[in-house]
Amino acid sequence: MAGNNCLEFEKPIYELEKKIQELMQMGEEEKIDFSREINQLKQKCTQLKKEIYGHLSSWQRVQMARHPQRLYTRDYIKELMTNFVELHGDRLFSDDRAIVGGLARFEGQSVVVVGHQKGRTTQENLERNFGMPHPEGYRKGLRLMRLAEKFSFPVISFVDTPGAYPGIGAEERGQGEAIASNLKAMALLRVPFIVLIIGEGGSGGALAISVGDRLVMLENAIYSVISPEGCASILWRNAEKAGEAAETLKLTAHDLKELKVVDEVIPEPLGGVHRDPPFVIERLRKSIRKALKELSSLPVDKLLERRYQKFRKMGAFLEPGEKKQKRVQGCRKPRNVNSKN
C-alpha cells in the first residue's frame, strides 16, 4: 500500500506493513534472521485488518469506493473480456472520455460493454472529467446499447461515477434529457442487460447506464440517489456531516441487498479490490457467466416483463401495525412494454 494513497483509518495497517517491509529488508542486508519477529508482526497485521475492515462504517465504505488504487472500468474490461474494440463519439457532438465502451467477447460470446472511467493521474482525471459524464457521454452509451440491440448482443455495464457533470455546458446540451432518454431506452432494451457497480454509483449519473436485468455490486461499492456530502449540504447545510448522511442513505452493498435493489454482492478481500484483484475478478466472471446463461435463455417478452416487475417492486414499505407491504405509487405500465418506441 502506498503511503500517499492510504486512507485515514488504514494508517495503523500501513504502519505495520511498513515495519514488516523494513525488517525484511534489514534481514536481507545484515544477514540476520528476523523470521520470528516478522511472523508475529504479520499475525498482528492480519488481526488488525480483520478488526478494521470487518467493521467498516458506511462513511468508511464510501471512502473505500473512492480509493485511488481501486480498479476502474478499463481494468475490468482488460481482465474479463477479449477482443475489445472501443467505439467513440455520440455522432451528435463529441467523444466524452468519461464514458468508455465498445464491442468485446466474454468467454467467446459477443457482448457490448459500457462504463464510467476515472483517471489515475491528475492529467488523465482532467481528460476523463473525474468520471463525470456530459450529455454526449450518455448519448454515446445509448448509441452502444442500440448497437447491441441491433445485433442481439448482451450489454454489460460498469458503474463508477460521483454523478453526472453539473456544469452549465452540460445543462445547455441537455443533461436531464440525455439521462431520461437512457432510462426509457434501457427499460425497453430487447437484450439481456447486466449491471456491475464497481465503485461509486452516484445519482442519475449512475442510473443512466444501470437499468438492467441483473444488478451486481462489489462489497465496498456504493449506490445512492445523492453523494453523502451533497445530502449533508441539503439537509444540514453542512458537508462535514457526510458521515451521518452516509448512514442514513443506506448506500452500501449490504443495505441495498437487504432492500432488494441489487441482486448480488461480490465479496472483496480485506482492504479492498486493489489488495487482491484476481480474487474479485474470478467472482465477477462467475457472476456474469451465470447471469448471461440465465437471461439469454429467456424469450424477449419474458425478459422485458421481468425487468419491468423488478423495478416496480422497489420502494415497498410498511407502516406501524401493518403486515402487508405497500408500494410507492409510480408511473403506470407502458401500454406496450415490448415496443422499441
> Has residue 324 been placed in a domain?
no
> Has residue 326 been placed in a domain?
no
Residues 44 and 90 in one domain: no
Residues 45 and 70 in one domain: no
Cα 207 from Cα 159, distance rounded (Å): 9
> Has residue 338 been placed in a domain?
no
> Has residue 328 been placed in a domain?
no
CATH number, position 145:
3.90.226.10
Q: How many structural domains is the chain composed of? A: 2
pLDDT score of 329: 52
pLDDT score of 341: 46
Structural domain for 107, as ranges? 63-316
pLDDT score of 2: 47
pLDDT score of 10: 81
Residues 95 and 40 in one domain: no
Residues 157 and 32 in one domain: no
Residues 163 and 214 in one domain: yes
Residues 251 and 267 in one domain: yes
Q: One digit per residue, pLDDT tens: the chain, 341 residues?
A: 445 577 888 888 888 888 888 888 877 777 777 777 778 888 888 888 888 888 888 999 999 999 989 999 999 999 999 999 999 999 989 999 999 999 999 999 999 999 999 999 999 999 999 999 999 999 999 999 999 999 999 999 999 999 899 899 999 999 999 999 999 999 999 999 999 999 999 888 999 999 999 999 999 999 999 889 888 999 898 888 998 999 999 999 999 998 889 999 999 998 889 989 999 999 999 999 999 999 999 999 999 999 999 998 887 766 777 666 555 554 555 555 555 44
Residues 159 and 273 in one domain: yes
Residues 185 and 76 in one domain: yes
Residues 128 and 9 in one domain: no
Taking alpha carbons only, the member of 179, 160, 284 closest to residue 222 is: 160
pLDDT score of 328: 52
48: phi then psi, degrees, rounded to nearest 5 = -65, -40
Residues 37 and 129 in one domain: no
Residues 133 and 278 in one domain: yes
> Has residue 299 been placed in a domain?
yes
Residue 51: half-sphere exposure toward Cβ, Cα within 13 Å: 10
